[in-house]
Amino acid sequence: MMDIAVCGAFADEQIARLKHGVGDIPVRLVEAEASCECAIVFGNPEPEQVAANPNLRWLQLESVGFGEYAGLDWNRRHGETLVTNLSGFFADPVAESALAGILALYRGIDSLVLLQAEKRWLGDPLRTGLRVLRGARVVLLGYGAINRRLAELLAPFGCSITPITRGSGADALDRALADADLVVCTAPATAATSGLFDAARLAGLPAGALFCNFGRGSILDEDALADMLEQGRLGGAVIDVTSSEPLPAGHRFWNCPNLILTQHTGGGTVDELDRKIDVFLANLARFRAGAPLEGIVDFSRGY
């Protein structure tokens, strides 16, 4: 019997639209940590619940990231279970969030907002520290939908863009970083990217460079980045993802100078949940018709 489990923070009217869209297929609302044995799951359940589901035929994630599920025994199910993600779904909002953070640091908006809250006027002394984005040398680590869109947004600024892809290699990355004004990382969490930006690699960036992470927190040595920002070695950072979320109260990022912390909101939009439902219903129609699904995760690559 085909049935659907939905886990997520959907409003009543969105649940009603889901139930209407799936037609005669039974729909169960479950918590992410709750046991579920449905054939189809829409949302991001806890990995142990996925592993314990003997009936699972298709998991539609409401994220791009697959890292928390990568350790499951998918080979046991290979050819039986499909996993799809939201590949490309967040390209516009994340790229715009990255650009907003970069411009805020270049033009001192982050400091000006704090001064406004304190009712302090500094004016002219701030001007000498401001930079322009035009002509910046930009390294884009991970060249999927998000960084491709960011490259389009950066085009009017006349930036020099260096994409680093999965096949580029560590030497190419290090050569590019040595000449970078700005690095934007959108790479997924895989064994190859874990700890990629450690203290040594961050030290290879030129003085004053900006580092942005919109990929996964596992990519970055957060203490090493905090050290470099506190020492004034780097010019700033925009951090959307962290190793622990929510970020613990004692984490150094809360008080780190020249760091904009966007709290994993980079992909958010006012219609985000409705668009996720659209993706699921479109893929469900393909699933029922026996057609190829959009966004199928390649287990061997981890995304």
Q: What percent of the chain has pLDDT over 70?
A: 98
Report how far residue 108's alpha carbon sits from residue 244's, in angstroms, rounded to the nearest whole number: 28
8: left (phi over 0), alpha (psi -120 to 50) or beta: left
Query: Could you tell me the domains of the chain?
Result: 4-88+269-289 (3.40.50.720), 91-261 (3.40.50.720)
pLDDT band at 151 (very low <50, low <70, confident <90, very high): very high
If you ran DSSP here, which 8-state letter would residue 261 be given? E
Where do the DSSP E strands lie in 39-132?
40-43, 58-60, 82-84
Contacts of 3 (CB under 8 A, 6+ apart): 25, 26, 27, 28, 38, 39, 40
| Residue 77 pLDDT | 55
pTM for the predicted model, two decimal places: 0.94
pLDDT at 76: 58
Query: What pLDDT is recorded for position 79?
Result: 58
The overall average pLDDT reported for the chain is 95
